[in-house]
Homo-oligomer: A and B are copies of this chain.
Amino acid sequence: MHGEPAVAVLRLGHRPGRDDRMTTHVGLTARALGADRAIFAGGSQAAETVRDITDRFGGPFEAEVTDSPKAVLRNWDGRIAHLTMYGERVQDVEDEIRATRDDDGESLLIVVGAEKVSFDVYEAADWNVGVTNQPHSEVAGLAVFLDRLFEGRELDREWEDADQEVVPMETGKKVVDPDGEEQ
């Protein structure tokens, strides 16, 4: 989060149309919960949406598109955690994963699939991780994983170069510009 070693999220298996909103939510969740960048397969409009949100609400955060997610996996310089309901329990492996980043300085690629993920992804991953071994949502799995990886520190991050900022309120909505003027 915010500097080295980087945490990136790779979204695999996007099916245009069907997965558009889920893929966008993967990207926005990656940004909001402390990752440094998201990498989307070609055919998704998600990178554009995420860049637009970053322009308005701040960064730093990078959204990239790749034609070869497999090459991203193959060439990743660091560790790889693949989120899957078939994997080891997050509560059992999170400390080890966190240590490779916090103590050993290794960057982390978090892989998030859509429906079927091919077996070579399971083999390329240093960890296959289940946020529960129940079928639910790749967005939910990513969110819990990031919150645990960063131990909640991502919730306190500062955002740079935002055009607008939401001010937390008991009731109602308050949005201010960089000078603190209500919008």
Contact = CB atoms under 8 A, between A and B. Distances in A.
Interface residues of A, number: 56
A35 to B, nearest CB: 11
A168 B130 contact: yes
Interface string A61-90: 000000000000000000000000111111
Contact of A140 (B85, B142, B159, B169): B142
Contacts of A31: 134, 136
Chain multiplicity (copies): 2
Nearest to A166: B133
29 contacts: A25-B139, A25-B140, A28-B134, A28-B136, A28-B137, A29-B140, A31-B134, A31-B136, A32-B135, A53-B134, A86-B168, A88-B169, A88-B170, A89-B155, A89-B168, A92-B168, A122-B172, A125-B171, A128-B169, A128-B170, A130-B168, A132-B155, A133-B167, A133-B168, A134-B159, A139-B139, A139-B143, A140-B142, A144-B144
